[in-house]
Structure formats: C-alpha cells, structure tokens
C-alpha cells in the first residue's frame, strides 16, 4: 500500500517544503525481485583482520562483484570493512580512514557491513575495541541516509567461511528495512558453513511450517520461502481455512487448520508433519494476536489469550517437535518477536511480555539444540499491514517516521529476514534476535 507522505515528499512541491521545514525525507527503498542480481553494483572491501583476504571469494560465491580499491568518480553499492584486526582503541582510527573518503561514493540504498570478533570471546583492550564497533555502526546507520543500511557482524574464530549467507542477505535489497543490527556468527554451537547447492533456490527439497500463514506477514513468509524452493505447510485457525487453502494451493503447499493453543495442537502438528512430509526443516512461529489495554484495566481473558497464542503455543510446539525428532538435522526454528518485547509499549504489557518471551525461547534453546539445528528470532517494528492501516492517522505517522529510514516496513521485509535464517547456509547463525524496524530512533 502507498505511503502518501513519501509520495508527497518526492514531488517537486513536497521536496521544497520538506527541505525548508526540515521534515523527514524518506527514500524509496529497493527490494529484491526474484531473478535479479543479488547486488546491482560493486562492493568495496577493506580492513586488516581475519576475513579480509577471503572476503572477495565469499562474495564471488554469491555473484557479488567486489574491489579493494575505490576509484575517484565511481559509484559503489556497498562497503565491507574487516575490523577483526583492531586490538586497541587507538586502532579504531582505521574506521575513519576507511569510511570517510568512501561514503560520498555510495549510490542510492547502499549497504555497509563491519565485521568484528564477538567481544565476549576476548579480553583487555581488544575486547574494548571490538565492543566499540556497536556504537560506530549504529550511529553510522542513522547518518548514512539515501535508504542505506549499516550492520555489524561478529564472526567467531573458526567461523569465517560461514559468513557467506549473512553477507548475501545484508548486502542485498533483501535487508531493505534492517539496519543498525548486530549479528553473531558461530557464537552458539557450530562454526561451520552449511552447504548450499543453489543460492537462487537455497530451500529446494525442504519443508517449512508457517503458523498464522493465511494473511499479512504470514502470507509473505510463505511466499518468500516458496520462492526459495521450500514446500510450505501453512497453519491457521479454522476461521481462516478458506484463505489458507487458497494460498497453499497457489504455492503448491499443504495446510492444517487448527487453533495452536489447543491442548493437543503440538501433537497434531507433529503427526501431520511426520505422516505427510517425513518431518520438517524450517519452523516459523508467526501466529500472533494483540488485545491492547492498560494493565490497570486489563481483563484476565485479554492477558491469557495473548500469552497463550504468542509464546506458550510456540514453546509447546517447539519442544514437541524437538522431543519427537520431527525437526530434521540442520533444521531451523524461527520466532517472530517484536520491538515491543524489547522497548515496551503503552497498553501492551501482555503483548510485550509475550514477545519478550519469544526472545527468551531463543535464549533458552540456542545452546540446547544440537544436530545443526538453530533457533533465532526477528523483531519487527512498524510494518505496514491491513491491521496498521486501521491505526489512527497521527499515531500511524509517528510510528512510520521515528526510524532512520522515516518510513514503515513491509511484510516482505520480515519474510526476507526469516528466509536468511532458514537458509542451509546459515548453520552458524544461532541465538540471534534481529530487529526489522528501519533502525528505530527511540527505545531500541
């Protein structure tokens, strides 16, 4: 759906008013189209750390052109700086030396990635320097403009070869609404790279379960996973059965109409996946509801309903699938949390508790799941859906503008982030919570 403010800000009269009044000027974000190059342009690579020599080769696997020399007058699509070699705060000067001369050579919707070593694996001055990278990247994300994004990727020792899928996601339009994030590779469990036979169809031959799949964000998750080659099994409440069946038939998938809060729902899902598909490779806990009310006025029904759907059901289903061995080796479990679970929100104590609980589920299982299985979560910010379209105009405008990109995200932005987690190439991406929020200015 159209962003009327963005349309206004891009016409001649709007541009003049926006400039003179100092109003937000959102850039139309580039998003990935199936069959298009992953990166339409060249990425400049630099640094002095563990990955700098291997980076061109990793990018070449994805068909991404790179160079170590930025030419005057040329336009570049991205910058990647290997900061793993920075061992003291004095050496942080290398960040300014690399980025300052190159930032003006970036085109529209550029991508910047800084690579570091997880500070918790270091000591002394080296730990201080590596932790400083977080402040640098988050600030640069709020400066870069032009629809650009900036991320920090902490790569554990030995996990260098496992960075390919993450670089492909963060350097491409698939990460259009993801910025200011910190991703850890190899911090929990395996440090090895998963094998991807075809980067254009990374999920070929895999089965993906998506709850709440009939509409909105769930529908886009199903579509993107199908695009990447997965057979999708959609789950939704019986009231949404018609829409669910129509979508799954279109995608050549399967469906199961049930209420995930029912006592026997985990067993029914496990039985269906085992009998019809021989198990599952990707589990996406997307189903969620809101029942907003300030805590002083909140009834027991509103509290229990939100907690039950948003966190209790995903926890019960996950544990059942793991206990029965329904999740295949190298499987993926992905939760949909929310910015509200990180920063809180007025009138959403139940919702925020449930979404923080999703993050807790990731924390609790990241070191428990073995056999190459990973668990991660996305935390969407203001995503434009039919539900948000019903929000009062003033509230909606504030929600859309208070981020570094001055606009709301789209359901496909959440779906692309989930598809990155789901890729077999993301075996070393475990225990992460990535915000899909355009880098919110306040609270998170």
Query: Measured at the alpha carbon of residue 41, what is the angle toward residues 38 and 45, in degrees to the nearest 5?
Result: 95
76 is annotated as an active-site residue: no
What is the edge-to-edge ordering of all strands in the sheet holding 181-185?
65-67, 42-47, 76-82, 106-116, 149-155, 181-185
The residue behind tokens 């994300």 is 141
Three-state DSSP class for 420?
helix
Question: Considering only CA atoms, which of 50, 106, 104 is closest in space to residue 82?
Answer: 50
Contact 334, 308 (CB under 8 A): no
Contact 297, 386 (CB under 8 A): no
162 is written with which tokens? 């496992």
CA dist 334 → 107, 126, 211, 253, 423 (Å): 33, 32, 11, 19, 12
289 is written with which tokens? 């509801």
44 is written with which tokens? 């400049």
Question: Considering only CA atoms, which of 271, 273, 210 is closest in space to residue 414?
Answer: 210
Within 8 A by CB and 6+ apart from 362, the residues are 335, 375, 376, 377, 431, 432, 433
Within 8 A by CB and 6+ apart from 287, the residues are 211, 212, 218, 235, 236, 260, 309, 310, 313
d(CA 163, CA 413): 21
Supply the DSSP string of 347-399, one letter for each residue: T-HHHHHHHHHHHHHHHHHTTT--TT-EEEEEEE-SB--HHHHTS-HHHHHHH
Q: Which of 32, 154, 351, 421 is catalytic?
A: 351
Three-state DSSP class for 335?
strand
- For the chain, how many residues are written? 444
The residue behind tokens 């570049």 is 76
Which residues are known to be catalytic?
351
């Amino acid at each position: 759906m159209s962003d009327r403010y963005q349309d206004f800000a891009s016409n001649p009269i709007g541009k003049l008013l926006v400039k003179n009044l100092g109003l937000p000027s959102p850039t139309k974000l580039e998003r990935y189209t199936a069959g298009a190059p992953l990166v339409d342009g060249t990425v400049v690579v630099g640094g002095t750390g563990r990955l700098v020599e291997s980076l061109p080769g990793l990018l070449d696997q994805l068909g991404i052109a790179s160079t170590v020399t930025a030419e005057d007058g040329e336009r570049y699509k991205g910058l990647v700086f290997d900061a793993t070699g920075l061992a003291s705060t004095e050496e942080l000067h290398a960040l300014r030396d690399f980025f300052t001369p190159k930032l003006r050579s970036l085109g529209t919707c550029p991508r910047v990635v800084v690579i570091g070593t997880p500070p918790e694996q270091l000591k002394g001055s080296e730990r201080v320097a590596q932790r400083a990278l977080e402040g640098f990247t988050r600030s640069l994300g709020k400066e870069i403009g032009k629809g650009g994004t900036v991320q920090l990727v902490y790569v554990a020792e030995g996990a260098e070869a496992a960075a390919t899928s993450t670089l492909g996601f963060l350097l491409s339009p698939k990460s259009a609404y993801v910025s200011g994030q910190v991703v850890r590779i190899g911090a929990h469990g395996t440090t090895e790279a998963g094998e991807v036979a075809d980067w254009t169809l990374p999920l070929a031959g895999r089965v993906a379960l998506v709850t709440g799949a009939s509409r909105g964000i769930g529908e886009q998750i199903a579509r993107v996973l199908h695009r990447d080659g997965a057979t999708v099994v959609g789950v939704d409440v019986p009231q949404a059965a018609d829409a669910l069946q129509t979508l799954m038939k279109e995608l050549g998938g399967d469906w199961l109409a049930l209420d995930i809060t029912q006592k026997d729902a985990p067993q029914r899902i496990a039985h269906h996946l085992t009998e019809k598909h021989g198990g599952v490779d990707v589990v996406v806990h997307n189903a969620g509801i809101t029942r907003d009310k300030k805590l002083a006025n909140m009834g027991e029904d509103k509290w229990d309903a939100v907690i039950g759907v948003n966190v209790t059901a995903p926890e019960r289903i996950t544990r059942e699938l793991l206990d029965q061995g329904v999740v295949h080796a190298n499987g993926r479990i992905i939760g949909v949390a929310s910015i509200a679970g990180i920063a809180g929100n007025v009138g959403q104590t139940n919702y925020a508790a449930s979404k923080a609980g999703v993050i807790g589920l990731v924390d609790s299982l990241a070191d428990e799941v073995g056999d190459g299985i990973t668990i991660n979560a996305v935390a969407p910010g203001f995503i434009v859906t039919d539900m948000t379209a019903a929000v009062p105009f003033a509230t909606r405008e504030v929600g859309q503008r208070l981020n570094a990109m001055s606009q709301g995200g789209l359901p496909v932005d959440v779906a692309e982030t989930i598809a990155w987690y789901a890729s077999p190439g993301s075996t070393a991406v475990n225990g992460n919570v990535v915000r899909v929020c355009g880098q919110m200015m306040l609270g998170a």
